[in-house]
Structure 1
């Protein structure tokens, strides 16, 4: 993808930025205010953590106690720090509770990301439709001082998270239907590749520039075993999606496997663009509005959702993710509303995202139906990723369907005995465009 700037330009930028900008540009709000502390710098583990050891055991704040517990009887007391979706969960799910912990602003970025973010203050642009990035440098925050909702959501979609992730056994869990005990639990390897995030000063270009390469395969349950998919999401052109069907022993292109298309195998509980809270681009079916900023209790440093040695039944109850595995802290968020365009089609007529000011991660989100009723409530579980120099990222997230009473928790490793692997450098043989093609998927699936 990238054209590269001269090395001396990057060095000059990094010297100008220095160590002052190692967050994702919260800007003036990096100061302490109320329950929210000042930004203190990038997190690091306590002790000899290495990949393969459970991360939460090496976190410096692991022994903290909650400062408050919110349940159905006390939710009114804390309503000003909760979203409509969070309040609805207390009312709809008996026994649901949130434990609140002290806030720690420890999510930083490498210096080269901070330097690029500084330049993007004056360089980054969206096209006239505000649907595509047409200028900017990566990896970095595209719009450190967003003026529109589209700019803010692109800060999320292009947040720095290394050049890729690998999960050897990713779990997608869909809770039972009311009156049933039967879960849908899909397990298999998955890969994500972000070529634009290679260390450097990479100019955004149009055409075939890949934003995300995706690959996954199912090994269980039996109904899905052997099936898998691959595809590419681009900066400025339509995405490509391919799926391997075991019964046909062939790969099919899935041109409509976008937006609100139901993902195969999940009984209409999980849509394609709900992956990772929101999968994009494209973002063209909605009008995006930046509402403002707000202090909320949000999931943060949620190491419990990355406990790959934990038992499935200890983490997931039939109604919700058990509170012992969720952690909430007070943080400031950008509130972004996405309203369906009059001439567009989508089952969700409005989406609301709550983007953490330090990471741009949608720590909370909501979907509303055509009648304006709250439909889905979502939360992401960010953690400091030490192998990325203290950058925070997430894979694990949960969404609750308020209409059916079911929920989906995806991209976890619960009960699988192996951790997520994040990569700071493009060292793996699958980190190439050709790996995410229909031909490569067919070749892997035929083995």
Structure 2
């Protein structure tokens, strides 16, 4: 793969704006001209009352009693087109009954003080390697590039987002809607965890954790044909991921050397590529990334519907996630476009991602096919994860395929799942330790 030039560092004058005109992580502090986007709030929202894990987060939101300002649907989509993505416009025009209820905007996303301190101290030292894509240095946990000079830097801001030392889904689903005209939906139930060895309090560089970006565990509970099938993956900031799978029929662990990028995830009829997990996953080295700019856009924000476990199961009997589980607000986003590098294979010729300016979380994306036609629209919702003092987008998210007429949901806790759990420290949880994410441990936990 051809190396590209190393990205230029931001100037001292640009970095000096952090904490002044810009927030500590690089967003514009000020609101927009008509204040439909307010000034930055200064801290992550806190629960109202004595919330504890397992209780529905939305019941403790200070915005829970707000009413929509207006609703966008097929009848008025053109009026708001300048604040929508192509994927959103396609959904509104093509999906009968699809709506976007828009609420007052609140900029309640920030990070803990130690994450902000690492962002400040590391802003001038964070570096993309000479290969043009891997992360060579950064102070973590923190935002590596709060004043990004290139698209690849924005990508790493998301991949290294602070989510504590790890996240656990004790019971969630991946669903695939039926083929058009059919009733055969897929609804696989799983347990899942991610581990970020650099996410603990203090300051850690990539080299201190051997370049590990994250460990990932996925274990099927349903359907019966896949129950007991487990997978462990390790992702790195500077080399290919490593994947090991345990298959119940063979009762052994196998290495899966090509289980990455757009390789479909096992069990979902080729509808779910690996690199669409949590909107954007794995190495970003197959694309050339550029910053298109910033725009005001309606995105899912303060949206606790994505973790509403007692909502009806989404993704099995309707063509989209229920309208009342999606709350939209107007925010500024970074727009980053990726085009496949010459001589490299990927099923999507181009991808566009939209990153919330306050959290660097991906909220929307689009895939385009080799003819330049819009192929997929993906959408996630942001909400404050109070345990870690930061926002997250790891709740139920959706990927709509305009070619097949089907859609995927993942991290889906609706329909009786369990709330997602975030860990500031390991807290005695074996999954929040590096030695859990090994082939040897996969064999041990799978043979029980």
TM value normalised by structure 1: 0.92
Matches within 5 A, 1:258-269: 258-269=260-271
Could you tell me which residue of structure 2 aligns to residue 321 of structure 1? 321
SS in structure 2 at match of 1:196: coil
Partner Cα separation in structure 1 for residue 366 and residue 152 of structure 2:
17
Q: Is the 8 A contact 2:45 2:386 kept in 1?
A: yes
Q: Does 1:137 align with 2:139?
A: yes
Partner Cα separation in structure 2 for residue 18 and residue 111 of structure 1:
14
Aligned-pair distance for 1:130? 2.1
Aligned-pair distance for 1:377? 0.1
Could you tell me which residue of structure 1 aligns to residue 280 of structure 2? 278
Aligned-pair distance for 1:209? 2.5
SS in structure 1 at match of 2:221: coil
Could you tell me which residue of structure 1 aligns to residue 335 of structure 2? 335
Q: Is the 8 A contact 1:140 1:160 kept in 2?
A: yes
SS in structure 2 at match of 1:409: strand
SS in structure 2 at match of 1:211: strand
Q: Is the 8 A contact 1:352 1:367 kept in 2?
A: yes
Runs of at least 5 residues in structure 1 that lack an aligned partner in the other structure:
1-15
Q: List per-residue Cα deviations over 1:176-233 (Å, max 9, x = no partner).
A: 1111112100112111000111110112317832111011111101221111100110
Match of 2:46 among 44, 47, 57: 44
Aligned-pair distance for 1:431? 1.9
Q: Is the 8 A contact 1:55 1:303 kept in 2?
A: yes
Q: Is the 8 A contact 1:24 1:141 kept in 2?
A: no
Partner Cα separation in structure 1 for residue 243 and residue 331 of structure 2:
36
Could you tell me which residue of structure 2 aligns to residue 63 of structure 1? 65
Partner Cα separation in structure 2 for residue 320 and residue 24 of structure 1:
36
Could you tell me which residue of structure 2 aligns to residue 245 of structure 1? 247
Matches within 5 A, 1:39-438: 39-40=40-41, 41-205=43-207, 208-280=210-282, 282-312=283-313, 317-427=317-427, 428-438=429-439
* Higher alpha-carbon deviation: 17-26 or 374-383: 17-26
Q: List per-residue Cα deviations over 1:68-97 (Å, max 9, x = no partner).
A: 101111101111111111111122211111
Partner Cα separation in structure 2 for residue 171 and residue 268 of structure 1:
17
Partner Cα separation in structure 2 for residue 433 and residue 262 of structure 1:
26
* Higher alpha-carbon deviation: 434-443 or 347-356: 434-443
Partner Cα separation in structure 2 for residue 95 and residue 375 of structure 1:
21
Partner Cα separation in structure 2 for residue 325 and residue 164 of structure 1:
25
Q: Is the 8 A contact 2:185 2:316 kept in 1?
A: no
Could you tell me which residue of structure 2 aligns to residue 12 of structure 1? none
Structure 1 residues 207 and 38 mapped into 2: Cα distance closer, same or farther (>3 Å)?
closer
Q: Is the 8 A contact 1:187 1:221 kept in 2?
A: yes
Aligned residues: 429
Runs of at least 5 residues in structure 2 that lack an aligned partner in the other structure:
1-15
